[in-house]
Chain A
């Protein structure tokens, strides 16, 4: 079973987000909420998706960073969690 690369993760995260910003162009570093791209209820939807898709538990301390809500920041978080969990890979949607 092939392991997801960081770029695979980023593509998945970007695709998920782009499905919810109604075709607006979005930079990978751009804060979703500060930019007004999505409303706050999307935060819950996205966290639950991250947990499901990557088999992770997101705690509130993970969200302390003010720049959690960008494609790059979420990818970094998922990568970091993977490493600390011993490299378990996402395998299905």
Chain B
């Protein structure tokens, strides 16, 4: 354990904002606890990976994060807009899923799922898709996984969340590069380090990324033109990727995961009304699935970019983001997970992608995203892995 003093103490009501950024400060940190004195965090006790790490330099990095991302923020009171209790206990069932072969860990944040999780995910997705179809007559698309790098850059994601980015790369398209790469492999032996060395020496540019969310595909789809209708609702489902600093050993935080997304594009009133209606319909769906939980104002983990504190604060002030959180376990004071979010972007994405409406002005947009692995996992933690304990309609659809 190494104690890293903070140059400027962090008020306790901002401790969460510091905590969510500590692992991203350096991947040498493998564990931490915060040291408080009075009403402030004055130091961080860290455990470090085996490799040599200079505590003074680590202190500098932490001070950078504290100054740029934490101190300027103001804590806003929790604002819960929906809450429902459900009967019965909630307990983590990941070990049971492993034991029955319904989940297999293939790497950090990467879990293979089999039955009944697979069919349950499909069923929950179908219920969400039905909401989008019935309420909004949403058009559905299936997007390629790869997102053009230019599209990702237009979103501003790289400036806001550099820590989560996933790039797609390949070798430079030239026979000399291929031969050079093979020489590197032959010389150094096979292994991830060799691949990295070969890529550094012979790699081409990064022209594609893995999408962190599905809605970026939708903005790219309608970029540089006017919407084909005064307003539009689009839904899609696909794999999304976010590189987290640490992964829990379960389905609750994954490196790659599946999102059901609904995007609203059009005038401001239309977008806000759609978001509100989808929230209401989602609450009803959760209650019909026997899932208790809550929906509350939330913020994104903006990191290091210009205006990080202002963006975090304004996001909460104006309720731009709501998160739907469901419980996973009652033990130790309880643990929950965000299974979905409902977002309003103002004209940010329409301006970035030059998507215009009837007046020629950029349209407004909003979206809702549901993590299907998390939703299925929360369902299983509530109702158990045995389908005989599930609500009848779900059992009939998934495990007849």
Contacts and interface: CB of A to CB of B under 8 A. Distances in A.
B216 interface: no
B154 interface: no
B302 to A, nearest CB: 12
B347 A39 contact: yes
B256 interface: no
Interface stretch (B71-79, B232-240, B387-395): B71-79
A44 interface: yes
Interface residues of A, number: 16
Contacts of A41: 307, 310-311, 314
Contacts of B348: 39
A34 B271 CA distance: 11
Given A34-B268, A34-B272, A35-B268, A40 B320 contact: yes
B134 interface: no
Interface in A20-47: 33-36, 39-45, 47
Contacts of B364: 36
Contacts of A42: 314
A40 B317 contact: yes
Interface string A47-91: 100000000000011011000000000000000000000000000
A57 B54 CA distance: 41
B52 interface: no
Interface SS, A side: helix
Interface residues of B, number: 20
Nearest to A38: B346
A43 B310 CA distance: 9
Contact of B314 (A34, A36, A43, A64): A43
Interface string A3-19: 00000000000000000
Contact of A44 (B268, B317, B320): B317
10 contacts: A33-B318, A34-B272, A36-B364, A39-B348, A40-B314, A40-B318, A41-B314, A47-B317, A60-B77, A60-B317
B318 A60 contact: no
A60 B319 CA distance: 12
A40 B315 contact: yes
B77 A43 contact: no
Contacts of A33: 318
Of B79, B314, B347, most buried by chain A (CB within 10 Å of CB) is: B314
Given A41-B307, A44-B314, A63-B317, A36 B268 contact: yes
A41 B72 CA distance: 14
B313 interface: yes
Of A35, A40, A42, most buried by chain B (CB within 10 Å of CB) is: A40
B76 A60 contact: yes
A64 B78 CA distance: 11
Given A34-B268, A60-B74, A60-B75, A43 B318 contact: yes
Interface in B254-289: 268, 272
B310 A44 contact: yes
A40 B344 CA distance: 10
A36 B310 contact: no
A61 B317 CA distance: 10
Contact of A39 (B76, B313, B346): B346
Given A60-B74, A61-B77, A63-B76, 13 more contacts: A33-B318, A34-B268, A35-B268, A36-B347, A40-B317, A40-B318, A40-B346, A41-B307, A44-B313, A44-B314, A45-B310, A60-B75, A60-B76
A70 B233 CA distance: 30
A43 B315 CA distance: 9
Contacts of A39: 346-348
Contacts of B79: 64
Interface in B59-77: 74-77
A39 B344 CA distance: 11
Contacts of B76: 60, 63
Nearest to B313: A44
